[in-house]
Amino acid sequence: MPTKTVLDWIIDANTCFLVGAGCSKCAGKPLIGELTEEVRKALSRPAKAILEDLRGTYGRSATVEDLINHLLQLHKLLSSRKSQEHEDWTPKSIEQEIATIQRAIVEAIGTEWAGSDIHKKFLLRLTDQRARKTCDIFCLNYDTVIEASLEELRLPYTDGFRGAENAYFDPSLYGQIPGNGPYFRVFKLHGSINWIRDADETVRRRPATAVEDRRRAVVYPAEQKYVQTQYGVYETLLSLFRDRLREDRPNNKLVVIGYSFSDEHINVAIEDSILADGSNLTVYGFVGPEENKEEQEKRLREMAARCDDRFNVFIGQHAYISSSIEPDEWEEIKKLDLWKFENLVNLMVGGGR
């Protein structure tokens, strides 16, 4: 039965997860396109002009992440010049614009600390696997739904920060694994709405509702290598992602949900991990359909071709790229719309008992 096969991929003790903003849609959080439109309202005229002129990845419309990425590049270039003015921009005005964007992101996502019933079902189902010592969840979204859901369930976890009201990033926490039951490790690869930078540039986690903390390190994209150097938390988290994918585990698996494979930095980390010497990593992705379905399928087939038949992707209801199932099995699976997080969770809860 193909649904049993899919369920085995998801709940296996050696499976880790990469979740994107699509997984938070069911909790009332915006997708990246919706987030971009909300942020657009707060932009200055020059910033709106840049956003209109930018090309997004893989021919898509540019997002707020593309805009921040461009502004950071411009900031670096202007800071290296004797004359630090260019059209409407100076390093100072860029910093102010980024701060405006960060505030708009926080407002659009919301600062409430609240879990989601669907996320709680997902997390509880994963605790059924007693052979699982850790459950690693790599997040590309900025909201705190997963962390809040874990706390509401009173499940042990770490997000890499030590402390409470003024916690600081300490990656050694990911290596401290309690002995009893599954321990969740949450890696926010693109940052979070409850992260800030203090005066000495230390990245800290504070309650997102703290009015006095509006300057947040929410979305400095990982591809900015000079930012990685300055704010090493991103470089560290991406390295931990690579390390986990390359762990020597039997049937090591990465299940991808709510992410459209649009971040080249993340994609390269996945491809390199599949092709690394001694790797037995297999990837299973559940992806929603894009407007240009043919281009989307072409792009993902090219990625699969580079990955030695260990990259499996199921796209909406119209295509699958996989050597793990047969065409008749796909006919059954596609009806479930597993690219929607709530449907995948329903399979986990209803199909595994």
In this structure, the answer to whether residues 98 and 150 fall within a common structural domain is no
Residue 203: inside a domain, yes or no? no
pLDDT value of position 269? 95
pLDDT value of position 218? 57
Distances (CA, A) of 299 to 264, 290, 294, 307, 336: 12, 12, 9, 13, 24
- 72: pLDDT strictly greater than 60: yes
In this structure, the answer to whether residues 126 and 137 fall within a common structural domain is yes
- Boundaries of domain holding 137: 2-29+112-190+223-351
Q: Which residues contact 226 (CB under 8 A, 6 or more apart)?
A: 76
Domain stops at, among 69, 93, 109: 109
Residue 46: inside a domain, yes or no? yes
In this structure, the answer to whether residues 105 and 241 fall within a common structural domain is no
pLDDT digits (tens, 9 = 90+) for 160-179: 999 988 899 999 999 988 87
How much of the chain exceeds pLDDT 90, in percent? 57
pLDDT value of position 234? 82
pLDDT value of position 211? 45
pTM attached to this predicted model: 0.91
Residue 14: inside a domain, yes or no? yes
Distances (CA, A) of 255 to 10, 135, 163, 288: 7, 12, 30, 14
Higher pLDDT, 271 or 130: 271
In this structure, the answer to whether residues 160 and 45 fall within a common structural domain is no
In this structure, the answer to whether residues 20 and 153 fall within a common structural domain is yes
In this structure, the answer to whether residues 178 and 285 fall within a common structural domain is yes
pLDDT digits (tens, 9 = 90+) for 221-269: 433 443 444 457 888 899 999 999 999 988 899 999 999 998 888 999 9
- 300: pLDDT strictly greater than 80: yes
pLDDT value of position 216? 55
In this structure, the answer to whether residues 70 and 152 fall within a common structural domain is no
Domain stops at, among 58, 87, 109: 109
In this structure, the answer to whether residues 89 and 236 fall within a common structural domain is no
In this structure, the answer to whether residues 18 and 96 fall within a common structural domain is no
pLDDT value of position 84? 78
pLDDT value of position 87? 79
In this structure, the answer to whether residues 59 and 182 fall within a common structural domain is no
- 288: pLDDT strictly greater than 60: yes
Comparing C-alpha atoms, which of 256, 321, 274 is closest to residue 16? 256
Q: Tokens 């690579």 sit at which residue?
A: 242
**What is the CATH classification number for the domain harbouring 341?**
3.40.50
Residue 195: inside a domain, yes or no? no
Residue 321: inside a domain, yes or no? yes
What the block records as the tokens of 261 is 């494979």
In this structure, the answer to whether residues 24 and 154 fall within a common structural domain is yes
pLDDT value of position 351? 53
pLDDT value of position 60? 82
Domain stops at, among 52, 79, 109: 109
Comparing C-alpha atoms, which of 243, 217, 247, 211 is closest to residue 231? 217
Confidence of residue 130 (pLDDT cuts 50, 70, 90): confident
Residue 239: inside a domain, yes or no? yes
Higher pLDDT, 134 or 86: 134
Confidence of residue 352 (pLDDT cuts 50, 70, 90): very low
- 275: pLDDT strictly greater than 50: yes
Residue 155: inside a domain, yes or no? yes
In this structure, the answer to whether residues 327 and 257 fall within a common structural domain is yes
Residue 205: inside a domain, yes or no? no
Q: Count up the domains in the chain and report the number.
A: 2
